[in-house]
Amino acid sequence: MKINLKNKRILVTGGSGFLGSYVAGQLKKHGCKNIFLSDSKEYDLVKMEAIERVYQNTKPDIVIHLAAKVGGIGANEKNPGKFFYDNLMMGVQMMEIGRQEGIEKFVALGTICCYPKFTTVAFKEEDLWNGYPEETNAPYGLAKKMLLVQSQAYRKQYGFNSIFLMPVNLYGPKDNFDLESSHVIPAVIKKCVNAVKHNKKSITIWGTGKPTREFLYVEDAAEGIILAAENYNKSEPVNLGAGFEISIKELVGLIAKLTGFKGKVIWDTTKPEGQPRRSVDVSKAKKEFGFKARTPFEEGLKKTIEWYKKTI
């Protein structure tokens, strides 16, 4: 049964963040008028008091829960406890109060980090419980994975309509370019652009360059989330991806080409490099709610680079 979002009161947690701003924009394009964006400065969703307050103040029909404590490998290594606790408490409490309030639907955003470290490519949703996640981001991945357990348990016991989506690594304009906490694409873009600007002869990248990743342009991800919110009403997890795999070495070479960096890439093999391979099977999202990524990878990278250059 399709849910018409146009006349619904929709709360987007993390609404002022990277993905949240795009989801809000897509909802407006869909004609939604009653969109409420929660901000961590106003509502610290780790605390139950703030969660109860945001529900009281917005009275939503639909909750799209995007708020998360996220970062790259370095940030995960430095903050495993915080990444576990903050993500678990935000998600579990948001869903529980949503259930108590009798909301129509809860859209929970998981992560590709939920998957076991050694998963056969392309990752299928059925593979989710076949092992332990990659160590550097396991606390984050497991905290998110508990929302899937909660979603399925709440549907079984309470008939609560919640869904669980697992996007691959997102990228695009407005991404986080802070090298202390950023993911790989913004980090490499920043290093290459700055090297060109300051005439540096080399950049240093963590690892060997051998691991592979899959990337989804943020506008496509927002479209996928809204399609699922409208059309998908089951608690089985669904991948959101673009259906391709690229090595970090190839990625760095492509970004260097697009930014005009012609210097040397130094691989710091003393640093961790995360999961060996990542790429998901995208067939379930297409079958269940008609989602297919539209933005070619190189085009998305160009837009991201152009946006970053305008901000410095």
Decide if pLDDT at 75 tops 90.
no
Give me the catalytic one of 140, 171, 217, 232: 140
Sheet holding 105-109, edge to edge: 34-38, 9-13, 62-65, 105-109, 162-167, 238-240
- For the stretch 32-60, pLDDT in tens is 999 999 989 999 999 999 999 999 999 99
For 220, the token pair is 């496509």
pLDDT band (50, 70, 90) for residue 74: confident
225 found inside a domain:
yes
Burial annotation 42-70 (CB, 10 A radius, 16+ → b, else e): ebbbbeeebbebbbeebebbbbbbbbbbb
299 found inside a domain:
no
158 in catalytic set? no
- Do 279 and 122 form a contact (C-beta atoms < 8 A)? yes
- For the stretch 213-263, pLDDT in tens is 999 999 999 999 999 999 999 999 999 999 999 999 999 999 999 999 999
- For the stretch 78-104, pLDDT in tens is 999 999 999 999 999 999 999 999 999
pLDDT band (50, 70, 90) for residue 194: very high
- For the stretch 252-304, pLDDT in tens is 999 999 999 999 999 999 999 999 999 999 999 999 999 999 999 999 999 99
Bridge partner list, 37:
12
pLDDT band (50, 70, 90) for residue 121: very high
208 found inside a domain:
no
Sequential DSSP letters for 254-297: HHHHHHT--SEEEEETTS----S---B--HHHHHHH-----S-H
- Do 212 and 246 form a contact (C-beta atoms < 8 A)? yes
Average the pLDDT over 20-40 and give the result: 96
- Do 150 and 40 form a contact (C-beta atoms < 8 A)? no
Q: Give the per-residue pLDDT at 72.
A: 84
Decide if pLDDT at 145 tops 90.
yes
Q: How many CB atoms lie within 10 A of CB 300?
A: 23
205 found inside a domain:
no
Cα–Cα distance between 253 and 105 in angstroms, integer? 43
Q: Give the per-residue pLDDT at 123.
A: 98
In this structure, what CATH number is given to the domain that contains residue 103?
A: 3.40.50.720
Q: Give the per-residue pLDDT at 154.
A: 98
260 found inside a domain:
no
200 found inside a domain:
no
51 found inside a domain:
yes
Cα–Cα distance between 266 and 273 in angstroms, integer? 14
pLDDT band (50, 70, 90) for residue 1: confident
Q: How many CB atoms lie within 10 A of CB 307?
A: 15
Decide if pLDDT at 73 tops 90.
no
**pTM for the full predicted model:** 0.96
Q: Give the per-residue pLDDT at 71.
A: 86
Query: For all residues of the chain together, what is the average pLDDT?
Result: 97
| Helices within the chain (DSSP H only) | 18-29, 48-58, 73-78, 80-101, 138-158, 184-197, 218-231, 248-259, 283-289, 297-311
82 found inside a domain:
yes
Domain that holds residue 69: 5-172+215-243+276-294
Average the pLDDT over 117-121 and give the result: 96
Number of domains in the chain: 1
Cα–Cα distance between 267 and 157 in angstroms, integer? 51
Cα–Cα distance between 200 and 138 in angstroms, integer? 36
